[in-house]
Amino acid sequence: MEYQVLWFVLWGLLWAVYFMLDGFDFGTGMLQRLLSRSNTEKRIIINTIGPVWDGNEVWLITAGGATFAAFPAAYALMFSYLYSPLLIILFALIIRGVAFEFRGKGGTVAWERAWDTAIFFGSFIPSLLFGVAFGNLFQGLPMDESGYHGTLLSLLNPYGLLTGALFVLLFLEHGALWLALKTDGELAQRAERLSGRIWIVLFVVAVLFLIHTAFATKLYANFMNTPLWFIVPVAGAASLGAVRIYSTFRNYGRAFIASCVTIVMIVFTGIIGLYPNLMPSSIAPDHSLTIFNASSGIYTLKVMTAVVLLFVPVVIAYQIWIYRIFRSRVTDREIEDNREAY
In a domain, 314, yes or no: yes
* Number of domains the chain is built from: 1
Indicate the SS3 state at residue 217. coil
Q: How many C-beta atoms surround the C-beta of residue 201 within 10 A?
A: 13
Is a pLDDT exceeding 70 seen at residue 339?
A: no
Q: What percent of the chain has pLDDT above 90? A: 80
Which of 104-108, 205-209, 291-295, 338-342 is least confident?
338-342
Q: Per DSSP, what are the bridge partners of residue 141?
A: 281
Look at residue 83 in the predicted model and tell me its pLDDT.
87
| pLDDT surpassing 80 at residue 1 | no
At residue 189 the predicted structure's pLDDT band, cuts being 50, 70 and 90, is: very high
CA 173, CA 192: separation in Å to the nearest integer?
A: 10
- Name the strand (E) or helix (H) holding 224: helix 220-225
**Residues 229/219, Cβ–Cβ less than 8 Å:** no
Is the peptide bond prior to 51 cis by the omega test (within 30 degrees of 0)?
no
Per-residue pLDDT at 335: 77
Q: Is the pTM of this model over 0.85?
A: yes
pLDDT at res. 81: 87
Is the residue at 58 inside a domain? yes
For residue range 267-316, list pLDDT tens digits in order: 999 999 999 999 999 998 898 999 999 999 999 999 999 999 998 899 89
What are the residue ranges of helices labelled H in the chain? 3-35, 39-49, 53-56, 58-70, 72-81, 83-102, 109-139, 152-155, 158-182, 185-216, 220-225, 231-248, 252-274, 298-325, 332-337
Q: What is the mean pLDDT of residues 53-76?
A: 92
- Per-residue model confidence (pLDDT) at position 79: 86
Instruction: Look at residues 55, 47, 91, 65 and name the one whose alpha carbon lies nearest to residue 319.
Output: 55
**250 HSE (CA, 13 A, CB side):** 7
Model pLDDT, residue 212: 96
For the chain, the distance separating the N- and C-terminal CA atoms, rounded to the nearest angstrom, is 47
Element (H, E) at 143: strand 143-144
What pLDDT is attached to residue 116? 95
Distance CA 240, CA 316 (A): 25
pLDDT for 220 beyond 80 = yes
Once rounded to an integer, what is the mean pLDDT over residues 120-148? 94
For residue 126, is it within any domain?
yes
Judge whether residue 337 has pLDDT over 80.
no
Cβ contacts of residue 324 below 8 Å, gap of 6+? Answer: none
342, part of any domain = no
Q: Is the pLDDT of residue 340 over 70?
A: no
* pLDDT surpasses 80 at 107: no
Average pLDDT on 46-74 reads 92
In a domain, 297, yes or no: yes
Give the model confidence (pLDDT) of 146-185 as tens digits: 888 888 889 999 999 999 999 999 999 999 999 999 999 9
**Average pLDDT of every residue of the chain:** 93
Domain residues for the domain of 281 are: 3-337
